[in-house]
Amino acid sequence: MSESLLVTGGAGFIGVNFVYYWLNKYPNDKVVVLDALTYAGNLSSLDGVQSNPNFTFVQGNILDQALVESILKEQGITKLVHFAAESHVDRSISGPDAFIETNVLGTHSLLKAAKNVWLTGDGLEHRFHHVSTDEVYGTLEPSDPPFSETTSYAPNSPYSASKAASDHLVRSYLHTYGLQVSTSNCSNNYGPYHFPEKLIPLVITNILREKPLPVYGDGQQIRDWLYVDDHARGIDLVLQRGLVGESYNIGGINEWANIDIVKLVCQIMTKKFADNLKLHEQFPEARSVIAGNPEALIEFVTDRPGHDRRYAIDPAKANAELGYQPLETFDSGIEKTIDWYLSQENWWKALLKV
């Protein structure tokens, strides 16, 4: 049976990749994207689906409850996949208000809309799937076991605190009102369409523009990196096989220190530039990588306040209950990602002017 999905934040990094994943795998489903097109949303990222009759884009805010209710009713939405958020930790430190507004109040507004439209006693199955982060669990010591679904929440930044609050609200709407919800908490994603303020696209695009590669503190902060399509597949599995009311941790079993990621990107790009002289013409500014030494651009900068040292996900539950495991290797995923940025100069250059 075909489904109608409402994807909030579907013009952002993971949302866009999810929309392509979904319409490719389920071409008969309808997908409606609701996105406010903040600085992080980019309509051109959806160019590849705009002419698909099963795709609709609505520009709007998740805080607009009346708009969401009308979409749920008029489009016969059966599944809501909620990505829309303020997502950059640094911005949450300099301006936390927008994070509380979108991530907490916005999620609550969506929950109210789903409750009003879906809980009408018609007995139909619906699903409100909330996309969250491993950052809600706080930070790990080097020898600690990775986060599981039973790890206590201990968020340390306004971003992670706002996501934690939204996770609790989602849970409460099942237990209080019976809304059919699920949540996934995922580790750091990377891949195409990633806004160039985040570590991996920042390093790639700064090498191409001969800009410094800023590394916080000692660069030993550890993250568990997952290729974005593996995240989309994980959410798909939760929607198909996951139980209502459950949370699932989705991760890459792929821990890397930030400084090692920066050096890895430098190495791969050095090889690409050495093997392909056309890149020298395409990116004449990129003097350090052309000279074979982009690491010269690395600059250690003052650490982010409250910077978590380590995140790592234990995906055992998703593996056992959903059959989830990451498919992309880090070698192939990072290579694909760098190739994407090398071929999509117009996409990322337009964003750097925002």
* 331 Cβ neighbours under 8 A, 6+ residues apart: none
Of 18, 21, 30, 124, the closest CA to residue 81 belongs to 18
> Of the two residues 294 and 326, which places its CB atom closer to ligand NAD in the complex?
326
What is the closest distance, in whole angstroms, from the C-beta atom of residue 102 to ligand NAD in the complex?
Answer: 4
Residue span binding ligand NAD (CB under 6 A) among the ranges 187-195, 256-264, 270-278, 331-339: 187-195
DSSP-derived 3-state class of residue 176: helix
- Residue pair 79/107 in contact (Cβ under 8 Å)? The answer is no
Site for ligand NAD in 58-117 (CB under 6 A): 61-63, 83-85, 87, 102, 106
Four-residue CA torsion sign, 90, 251, 21, 35: negative
Q: List the beta bridge partners of residue 299.
A: 214
> Of the two residues 8 and 180, which places its CB atom closer to ligand NAD in the complex?
8
Q: Tokens representing 287?
A: 């003097």
Contact pattern for ligand NAD over residues 108 through 137, marking x by CB under 6 A: -----------------------x-x----
Residues assigned a catalytic role: 134-135, 159
> Of the two residues 118 and 227, which places its CB atom closer to ligand NAD in the complex?
227
DSSP H stretches of helix in the chain:
13-25, 65-74, 89-94, 97-99, 107-118, 158-177, 199-208, 228-241, 258-275, 278-282, 287-290, 316-322, 330-343, 345-352
Contact pattern for ligand NAD over residues 155 through 174, marking x by CB under 6 A: --------x-----------
Q: Tokens representing 54?
A: 């099963």
What is the closest distance, in whole angstroms, from the C-beta atom of residue 219 to ligand NAD in the complex?
Answer: 18
Residue from 5, 6, 7, 11 touching ligand NAD (CB under 6 A): that is 11
Q: List the beta bridge partners of residue 79.
A: 5, 127
DSSP-derived 3-state class of residue 353: coil
Q: Tokens representing 105?
A: 């109040």
Residue from 40, 81, 290, 313 touching ligand NAD (CB under 6 A): that is 40
Rounded Cα distance, 342 and 75, in Å = 38
Closest residue to bound ligand NAD by CB = 12
Residue from 41, 138, 155, 315 touching ligand NAD (CB under 6 A): that is 41
> Of the two residues 157 and 288, which places its CB atom closer to ligand NAD in the complex?
157
Residue span binding ligand NAD (CB under 6 A) among the ranges 56-64, 146-154, 261-269, 276-284: 56-64
> Of the two residues 287 and 336, which places its CB atom closer to ligand NAD in the complex?
336
Residue from 5, 6, 7, 9 touching ligand NAD (CB under 6 A): that is 9
Q: Tokens representing 215?
A: 């590394």
Residue span binding ligand NAD (CB under 6 A) among the ranges 20-28, 183-191, 258-266, 293-301: 183-191
* 195 lies in the site for ligand NAD, by CB under 6 A: yes
* 46 lies in the site for ligand NAD, by CB under 6 A: no
Q: List the beta bridge partners of residue 35.
A: 59
Q: Tokens representing 262?
A: 């920066």
CA trace torsion 181, 250, 158, 182 (10° rounding): 0
What is the closest distance, in whole angstroms, from the C-beta atom of residue 268 to ligand NAD in the complex?
Answer: 20
What is the closest distance, in whole angstroms, from the C-beta atom of residue 97 to ligand NAD in the complex?
Answer: 12
* 222 lies in the site for ligand NAD, by CB under 6 A: no
Rounded Cα distance, 1 and 17, in Å = 23
Name the residues that contact ligand NAD, by CB under 6 A.
Answer: 8-9, 11-15, 35-38, 40-41, 61-63, 83-85, 87, 102, 106, 131, 133, 163, 186, 188-189, 195
